[in-house]
Amino acid sequence: MMDSPSYMLSKIAEKDNLTVYELFFGPNHPGMHGNFGYVLEMIGTEIVKVRPNAGHLHRGFEKLMEQKLWVQNIALVPRICVADPDPNEVAYCTAIEKILRVDIPDRAKFLRTITLEMSRLSSFLMGMGALAAAVGLYTAMNIMTADRDLILDLFEWLTGARVYHMFSIPGGVRNDLADGFVERLYKVLDHLEKRLIEYDKLLFENPIIHKRLKGLGYVSKEDAVKYGLTGPNLRASGNPYDVRVDDPYAAYPYLDVRVITQEGGDALTRAIQIRLEFEETINLIRRALKTMPEGEIRLNLGNLSALKVPKGEAYAKVESSKGEFGYYVVSDGGMKPYRVAVRGPSLPAGLLLAQKHLPKMKIDDVAAWMASLAICPPDIDK
Amino acid sequence: MKLDKESIIELLNQKGVEVLDLYPNQISVNIKKDNLLNHLVFLRSIGFDHLSFINAVDFIDEGEFELVYHVWSYTHKIHVLNKVRISRNNPVIPTIVNLWEQAQFYEQEIHEFFGIIFEGNKDLSPLFLENWVDIPPLRKDFDTKEFSVRLFGAEIRR
Amino acid sequence: MEDLKANDKRSYIDNLIDFFRKRSIWMLHYCTGCGAVELPPSMTSRWDIERFGIVPMATPRQADVLLVTGYVSLKTLKRIIKIYEQMPEPKWVLAFGSCTVNGGIYWDSYNTITNLAEYIPVDITVSGCMPRPEAVIDALQTLMEMIQSGEGGAYKKYKENYEYYKKNQDRVLRKTAPILGSSETESIYQEKEGNYET
């Protein structure tokens, strides 16, 4: 029925009597996280060349945001990253607040911080689960997915939605914590902390993951900065940089954020980096809950549907679980943004590092390599 | 050695570029197209080592594209928006791939969505869209609603 | 065993085959959009759809159900059609979320289709953005009932109305060229295209 001649495998050349063939790694591939693809040129099981095939998730966000009101875009922005949606909302709102030159109430900052860190926890659980599944440790993945649901339940209680929360709005947050939320959150954090012992046994002390990931996808300290890596990937190469400390937003100036760095820079170090940051995030939420002040949760900016942002531009960035999420917002003084440009954290790893690392790698390691760099296709494609 | 914002502004002023102090930790710089590479090389030499990303803005009324090179310094903790204006009729600008390799993909993306040509970039093949024959979609004169209605039969909601 | 009884339309054997068929639905592991993020919770211990005999399957050749989890961009649509045509019959399609019905929040996007049913036949659409795991399970159970009663036959429509679907697919996909294959195939595609308005 199809008039296209090519399917999964096609021979393209011969080299030293060996066949070079093309293999489509993704989008429909069990090792691929999300709808993304690499076209691999291979000899046997060894990759010789790679062509990233992005764009399966391209929805034209940057164009759509120009068509909608400032506040309508709140519904659109979290959809850029499914696994970790809250940094998008906060970055977008922070950029607007920068142009408006307003300072939001302290309690709103703390509420944003708490949702950001909860989102980070859920994203880390998903990332660790994906890594476990990529090396065949499905039990760890199952447990982590179940634990992630505890956080999603809390999100549902707080915001009404499991995945896309739309919690931050220009000027603050949508609603305050319900009675009993804090106690429940403490319980979940305690549970997750206990679970860490189990994760260690199942995943991080497992000889399989050590053998599979040791030395895979090495990034040196200088290269990590040069290639534009951010977040845990940068810190796993020994660079003590974190947007939460360097360019603080929300309530991070009031909190003591501990930056964890490791030397190493290979996939195993990155995996352990996520595990260490997971533990630190739990402590950070506890500290935030303890120091959270009472008070207003949002500024009165009038009718938000009629919000007009003065002429100007601002770049706001947020440390998401994968790295720097940035929003560059340009306003011409109207009801709609003139231009919103999004900086996703996965692009340097997903496109540039793929071309550096994948050649000479065996095909079995590609899925683990992707999971260790926490490549999230939607924010590459936008 | 960490420099504060004021001394960076002074350094840039000495180089003869126009600096705008936007927010704490954020400054904006207007540069000429011919000066772009020199300016970025200078920024990099004083410790601005992280290229966040590149984006373009279409100022259709003024007949110009504005390219914004977002550069962040891990040493000085300052974000610089380097803005270059180029003509909309002849959108050509030198590539910065030799400075930052990841710029390759940002330039490919901007070429695809705005039609801006990066001189010296060897591969400007489309990254996200397949066989796009229309005007580049992120230009202001491209009407996505109209396009969606005509091609996909979307219903206009009121 | 009451529902296995023969009636004037279906024989006992038909019912028996469908009874077993509905108890082992293999769904294709292809995350086309954001709805796929709710599939791991559905598949693991909390909701556990494996108790209905539903398991993920890596290749389209062994799969029974194609889950289109959310918005479909043009590039993805091409892959979906390719995958759908590779799947053996009987096969079913589940469309997730409002994006597959009328475009949802992306209705005015230049790169996402609005109504999936114009391009491949859809058996069930699940409401919500994004659908909760309960909704996913409800949809899969409805599908099981449809299989038992012999209703779930949208794939037959694809054969009967192939011209219609092909016309719609071509209309939007003429803009796309194959990623795989030599540059020769690409040029063949471009020749076929002709001018395209809009």
> Which residue did the predictor score with more confidence, C185 or A264?
A264
Rg of chain C in Å (alpha carbons):
18
- Radius of gyration of the CA atoms of chain A, in A: 22
- Rg (C-alpha) for chain B, rounded Å, is 18
Taking an 8 Å cut-off on Cβ atoms, the answer to whether B151 and C171 are in contact is yes
Is residue C150 domain-resident?
Answer: yes
Helices (H), chain B: 5-14, 36-45, 103-114, 144-152
C-beta of residue B116 within 8 angstroms of C-beta of residue B139: no
SS3 B26: strand
Residue C1: inside a domain, yes or no?
no
User: Which of C47, C52, C25 minimizes the C-alpha distance to A142?
Assistant: C47
User: What's the structural domain count of chain C?
Assistant: 1
Whole-complex ipTM: 0.90
pLDDT of residue C196: 35
The pair of structure tokens assigned to A181 is: 């939320």
pLDDT recorded at residue B156: 65
Give the one of C108, C171, C179 whose C-beta lies nearest to B148's C-beta: C108
In a domain, B28, yes or no: yes
**pLDDT of C6 strictly over 80:** no
Asked whether residue C65 is assigned to any structural domain, the reply reads yes
B154:C102 CB<8 A: yes
Given an 8 Å threshold on Cβ–Cβ distance, is C115 in contact with B153?
Answer: yes
CA distance C152 to chain B (A): 26
C176 pLDDT more than 70? no
Domain count, chain B: 1
CATH number at residue C61: 3.40.50.12280
- Chain A interface mutation, best of C29, C38, C44, C165, highest count of A Cβ atoms under 10 Å: C44
Domain-embedded: residue C194: no
Asked if the Cβ–Cβ distance from B25 to A247 is below 8 Å, we say yes
- Kindly identify which residue of chain B lies nearest to residue A95, measuring between CA atoms: B23
Look-up of token digits 């063939």: A21
Is the residue at C195 inside a domain?
Answer: no
pLDDT in tens, A334-360: 888 999 999 989 888 888 888 888 888
| Closest CA relative to residue A55, chosen from A32, A41, A78, A37 | A37
Q: How confident is the model at residue A303 (pLDDT cuts 50, 70, 90)?
A: confident
Contacts of B157 in chain C (CB under 8 A): 107
What per-residue confidence (pLDDT) applies to A6? 45
Chain B residue with CA closest to C104: the answer is B154
Range of the domain at B124: 3-150
pLDDT digits (tens, 9 = 90+) for C113-136: 888 888 889 888 888 888 888 888
Does any CB of chain B come closer than 8 Å to the CB of residue C177?
yes
Find the CB nearest B148 among C109, C175, C190.
C109
Please tell me the predicted confidence (pLDDT) of residue C109.
85
CATH of the domain at B67: 3.30.460.80
Pairing of strands A168-169, A172-173: antiparallel
Q: What is the DSSP letter of A202?
A: I
Distance CA A181, CA A189 (A): 12
User: How far is Cα A61 from Cα C111, in angstroms, rounded to an integer?
Assistant: 10
**Is A61-379 in CATH node 3.40.50.1360?**
no
Alpha-helical (H) ranges within A200-266 are 207-213, 221-226, 232-235, 243-246
User: Could you tell me if residue C71 is inside a domain?
Assistant: yes
The larger pLDDT score, comparing residue A12 to residue A1, is at A12
Domain ranges of chain A: 5-53, 61-379
Q: Which tokens go with A119?
A: 């989102």
Range of the domain at C94: 10-189
Q: Are A28 and C85 inside 8 Å of each other by CB?
A: no
Looking at chain C, which residue has its C-alpha nearest residue A57? C73
Q: Is A239 on the interface with B (CB under 8 A)?
A: yes
Distance CA C71, CA C102 (A): 10
Q: Which residue of C has its CA nearest to B113?
A: C110
* Strand order across the C65-69 sheet: C55-57, C26-28, C65-69, C92-96, C124-126
Residue C5 in domain = no
pTM for this one?
0.88
Read off the pLDDT band of A186 (50, 70, 90): very high
Q: Is residue B115 situated within a structural domain?
A: yes
* Per-residue exposure over A163-186, b if at least 16 CB sit within 10 Å of its own CB, e if not: bbbbbbbbbbbbebbeeeeeeebe
Backbone angles phi, psi at B67, to 5 degrees: -100, 135
Residue C138 lies in a domain: yes
Given a cut of 70, is residue A176 above it in pLDDT? yes
